[in-house]
Amino acid sequence: MVIVLDFGGQYNQLIARRVRECSVYCEVLPHTTSLDEIRERNPRGIIFTGGPASVYKEDSPTISPEIFELGIPVLGICYGSQLMAHLLGGRVETAPVSEYGHTEVEVDVSSKLFQGISSKTVCWMSHTDYIAAAPEGFRITGYSPVCPVAAMECESRKLYATQFHPEVLHTKDGKQMLSNFVYNVCGCSGDWKMDSFVESAIQAMREKIGSGKVLCALSGGVDSSVAAVLLSKAVGRQLTCVFVDHGLLRKNEGDEVEAVFGPNGPYELNFIRVNAQERYYEKLKGVTEPEEKRKIIGEEFIRVFEEEAKKIGAVDFLVQGTIYPDVIESGLGKSAVIKSHHNVGGLPDYVDFKEIVEPLRLLFKDEVRAAGRELGIPEYLVSRQPFPGPGLGIRIIGEVTAEKVRIVQDADAIYREEIAKAGIEGLGQYFAALSNMRSVGVMGDERTYDYAVVLRAVMTSDFMTAEAAEIPWDVLHKVTNRIVNEVKGVNRVFYDCTGKPPATIEFE
C-alpha cells in the first residue's frame, strides 16, 4: 500500500484515487500520524500532499524529519515538496512570481519519475512559495521559466518532489508520473483490485462494530445500498435498515428495494419498510413553494426515521452512505442557496447512537459502483442514475397529490423503458416531470383538459452544468404516443431543450 499524508490540500483524495487507479491500495492519513503507526502499516511508499500553508511559518503543518530515514520512498507534492526541501536543509521562499494553472515544465527524462514522458510537458501549478535551493544531495529534475526547482530528487534515498500537481488531469503526464512513482520507485506490484477494498472494508467494519447494533437509513440509492450490503456482510443481523417509502419514489421502486433488501432478498439483515405515503401527501397538501416542499419532505423523513429508531431503541452505530464528493461539498459551503439538498443537511436529533460509521467515505462515485458490483448488488441498483432525496416531490411543479404522483410515475416509467429499448447510453440524468399546466386537447371525439408532461434528458459529468441531450426524434415520438395513450390525465408532452445554466436539472 501507499500512504498519502494530508497537509491540508484540496486534492488529497484525488491523489489516493490516482494511486488506486494504478491498482495499488492507498489511504489518506493526517500528517500528525505517528512514525510508529506509519511503520506498522508497512507502506511501499508515502506521498506528501499540497496544502495552503508556508513551511517557514511557525504553526504550519509539519512532520518529523525521521520519516526520510525509514527507507520508504517519499514523493512530496507542492507544499509537500517544499516541506521536504525545508526539513532537509534546502531553502523555501515566497516566489517572485506565483504560478497558477497550465505551465510548461522541462523535465529530466533520465529520472525514474519521468520515464516515458517527453522532456517538455504541461503541468498544473498552483503556488506562491517555491523551492529556491534544493537540499544537499538532491538534483534538480524539472524547472519552468519562473520556478527553478519544479522537481527534484535524491535517488539513493528514494526521495522525490514536484512543485506541480501530478494528480490533476491538467498535468498531461501526471498519471504516468504517479504510476512511475508507485511502480519504478516504490516497486509496488499493482495487484490491488476493488475486491480487496471490499474485503478489507468488511473486515474493518467487523472489527470496529464487534457485537454492537447498527442502524442504517436505506434510500435504495447507490450509496446507501452499497453501504448497507457491506455492513450486512460484516455483521449480518446486527444491522437494521429502515427504508422510508415517502410515496415520491419512481414507479415500483419501493417494491424493488424491498425485493433486494427485504426478507426474501439475498442479504442477512433486518429490513423495516415504512409506508409513509399518506402521511407525506397530507403534509404536502396545498404547498406549492419548492423550498417549502423540500423542507417538509426532509423534516418528515427525519421524524419518521426517529419514530422507527425509537422503537428499535439504543444502537451503537449509525451508518451513513457518505462518499468523498459529499465530504468536499459539505466542507466548501455555498454562497447562495439555489436548492437546499436535504440529504446533506444533517442528522436526526433523537436517534440514540454512539458513533457514525461511513465505510464509503474515501470513494468516488464510480468506485462505489465498482464496490457494489463486487458485492453482487443487482446492476439496475448499482448503475442507477441519481435520484433526488425529495424525489418526485420536486418533479411535480406546484402542489403534490397522489393523482399527480401516479401520472408522473407512469410517464417516467414509459420514458425510461423506451430509452433502454433504444439502447441510448451516456445520459447524465433523464426523467419525466409534470408541469402545472393543463391545456385543451381532443381524444376520440371528446374535448380534454389535461396535464402536460415534460421530458428531460441531460448530458453532464458533474451536475453543476449540463446540456440538453439530443434524443432521436423517433424515440421521443414513441414515448409521446405511449404517454398520451397509456397515462390517464395527460394530453400533451414537451421536451425540455434548456441547458444548466440557465435552467437547473430538476424543475424545482
Nearer to ligand XMP, 142 or 321 (CB): 321
- Residue 321 interacts with ligand XMP (CB under 6 A): yes or no: no
Q: Is 23 annotated to bind ligand?
A: no
What's the per-residue H, E or C state across 122-168?
EEEEEEEEEEEECCCCCEEEEEECCEEEEEEEEHHHCEEEECCCCCC
Q: Smallest distance, Å, CB 386 to ligand XMP?
A: 4
Q: Under 8 Å CB-to-CB from 96, ≥6 apart: which residues?
A: 146
Q: State yes or no: 221 annotated in a binding site.
A: yes
Q: Is 189 annotated as a binding residue?
A: no
- Write down the least CB distance from residue 361 to ligand XMP, Å: 18
In sequence order, the 6+-apart residues with CB closer than 8 A to the CB of 423 are none
**Residue 98 in marked binding region:** no
Q: Is 412 annotated as a binding residue?
A: no
Q: Is 390 in the site for ligand XMP (CB under 6 A)?
A: yes
Q: Which three cell numbers stand for residue 5?
A: 499524508
3 state SS of 471: coil
Nearer to ligand XMP, 234 or 419 (CB): 419
Does 388 bind ligand XMP (CB under 6 A)? Our answer is: yes
Lookup result for grid cell 525514474: 112
- CA–chain centroid gap for 288, Å, is 31
CA 470 to chain centre: 27
Task: Give the SS3 label for residue 177.
Answer: helix
Candidate ranges 21-29, 76-84, 340-348, 485-493; the one touching ligand XMP (CB under 6 A)? 340-348
- Antiparallel, parallel or unpaired: β 467-468 and 429-443: unpaired
- Residue 223, annotated as binding a ligand: yes
> Least Å distance between CB 448 and ligand XMP?
30
The residues in 445-474 that bind ligand XMP, with binding defined as CB under 6 A, are: 463
Residue 400 to residue 286: CA distance in whole angstroms: 8
DSSP 8-state class, residue 334: -
Q: Which is nearer to ligand XMP, 90 or 390 (CB)?
A: 390
d(CA 353, CA 350): 9
Only segment of 192-200, 335-343, 409-417, 469-477 that touches ligand XMP (CB under 6 A): 335-343
Whole-angstrom distance, CA of residue 197 vs CA of residue 182: 18
Nearest to 270, CA basis, from 261, 278, 280: 261
From the list 22, 26, 78, 188, the catalytic residue is 78
**CA gap 196, 24 in Å, rounded:** 10
- Closer to ligand XMP at the Cβ: 86 or 456? 456
β-strands 239-245, 214-218: how paired?
parallel
Integer Cα distance of 285 and 293 in angstroms: 10
Beta carbons within 8 Å of 296's beta carbon, 6+ residues apart: 283, 284, 287
Q: Is 22 an active-site residue?
A: no
x-or-dash string of contact with ligand XMP, 49-88, rule CB under 6 A: ----------------------------------------
Q: Is 391 annotated as a binding residue?
A: no
DSSP 8-state class, residue 385: P
389 binds ligand XMP (CB under 6 A): yes
Strands 2-6 and 45-48: parallel
Position 364 contacts ligand XMP (CB under 6 A) = no
Stretch that binds ligand XMP, among 185-193, 212-220, 341-349, 419-427 (CB under 6 A): 341-349
**Nearest alpha carbon to residue 167 among 323, 27, 47, 331:** 47
341 binds ligand XMP (CB under 6 A): yes
Which residues ranging from 22 to 51 are in contact with ligand XMP (CB under 6 A)? none
Pairing of the two strands 139-144 and 91-107: antiparallel
Least distance (Å) between residue 310 CB and ligand XMP: 25
Q: Does 505 bind ligand XMP (CB under 6 A)?
A: yes
User: How many other C-beta atoms are found inside a 10 Å radius of the C-beta of residue 89?
Assistant: 13
Q: How far is the CB of 342 from ligand XMP (least distance, A)?
A: 6
Please give the residues from 288 up to 307 whose contact with ligand XMP meets the rule CB under 6 A. Answer: 294
Stretch binding ligand XMP (CB under 6 A), from 42-50, 54-62, 198-206, 334-342: 334-342
- Whichever of 76 and 389 has its CB closer to ligand XMP, that residue is 389
The question of whether 167 is a catalytic residue gets the answer yes
CB of 407 to ligand XMP, least distance (A): 19
**Residue span binding ligand XMP (CB under 6 A) among the ranges 77-85, 155-163, 368-376, 384-392:** 384-392
Residue 435 interacting with ligand XMP (CB under 6 A): no
* Radius of gyration, alpha carbons of the chain: 27
The site that binds ligand XMP (CB under 6 A) totals a number of residues, namely 16
Which residue in 99, 127, 154, 167 is the catalytic one?
Answer: 167
Dihedral sign, Cα of residue 358, residue 211, residue 314, residue 220: positive
User: What number of CA atoms fall less than 13 Å from residue 281's CA on the CB side?
Assistant: 14
Question: Closest CB to ligand XMP among 438 and 500?
Answer: 500
Active site residues: 78, 165, 167
Binding site for ligand XMP (CB under 6 A): 294, 339, 341-343, 386, 388-390, 394, 429, 463, 500, 504-506
Which residues fall in the annotated binding site for ATP?
219-225
Which residues fall in the annotated binding site?
219-225
